[in-house]
Amino acid sequence: MQKDIATPVRTKEIMEKYGFSFKKSLGQNFLIDPNVLRNITENAGLTKETGVIEIGPGIGALTEHLARTAKKVVAYEIDQRLLPILADTLSPYENVKVIHEDVLKADINQMIDEEFADVKDIMVVANLPYYVTTPIILKLLEKNLPIRGIVVMLQKEVGDRIAAKPGTKEYGSLSIAIQYYTTAETVMIVPKSVFIPQPNVDSAVIRMLLRESPAVSVKNERFFFNIAKMSFAQRRKTLMNNLTSGLPDGKKRKSEIADALDAAGIEPSRRGETLSMGEFGTLSDALFPIFGNSE
């Protein structure tokens, strides 16, 4: 078997061979521990029937582990300097395709139609750059892709927020946005010492498996997410205060907000972090007939 890319010696050799230097603006941190990569691959539940979408393959450390386990890997890489390196490091694997494109601008549905036409099981697996973690995950979920789930390594703090439960300080609108579509859990903590260059914080591997239908049924999804966001605008403030500040003409229409809270069976003095997903759904549905059209 091909010698692992993800070792300090091999990573250094590859970088020296190509004179590669890290770009801070692209959030590049390369993993140098094959055990972590094996763990990520295992947690994604890949088989020879699985198609994998990878984002930011770097020099191919995770890509090769995915290629050994899955049917096919399509990797999006934004940094042109890495293309010749990937062509070299991944040359032993015929089931890998690298696309030079920003995943945030890519038509992923079209790519899936073209590259995974004969694949029933699709997973997204990636070591995401810290600075674009949230937009990437939300794009993947909002585009209604035919995927089973997403397993990503990201900043531990963001991972904590994604998997957070109501009543905790990490719980917020990001927890709700992601848990609306998926069941999310932390499967592994990864110390900063297994990367070069070493980031300032530890990472976490989060597994998000898509729900068959959203966690709650709401009248209007966009309005529901906006109400959740508003409710956490100032965490120390009560729901009543946050909604009064956030909704159009909220200060003048305080009594209507109070009526909606009453109809939803939610005390105005509660804080956003105490509400379950179901309660946010009930609240958003109570407010929608009053404020939905002024969004």
Contact between 247 and 230 under an 8 Å Cβ cutoff? The reply is yes
CA distance 113 to 80: 25
Selection from 61, 51, 110 nearest residue 82 by Cα: 61
- The amino acid occupying position 275 is L
CA distance 146 to 149: 9
User: Prior bond to 289 cis, omega within 30?
Assistant: no
Contact between 59 and 6 under an 8 Å Cβ cutoff? The reply is no
Contact between 11 and 5 under an 8 Å Cβ cutoff? The reply is yes
Q: Binding site residues for S-adenosyl-L-methionine, as ranges?
A: 29, 31, 56, 77, 102, 127
Q: Binding site residues, as ranges?
A: 29, 31, 56, 77, 102, 127
Residues linked to residue 72 through DSSP beta bridges, in sequence order? 51
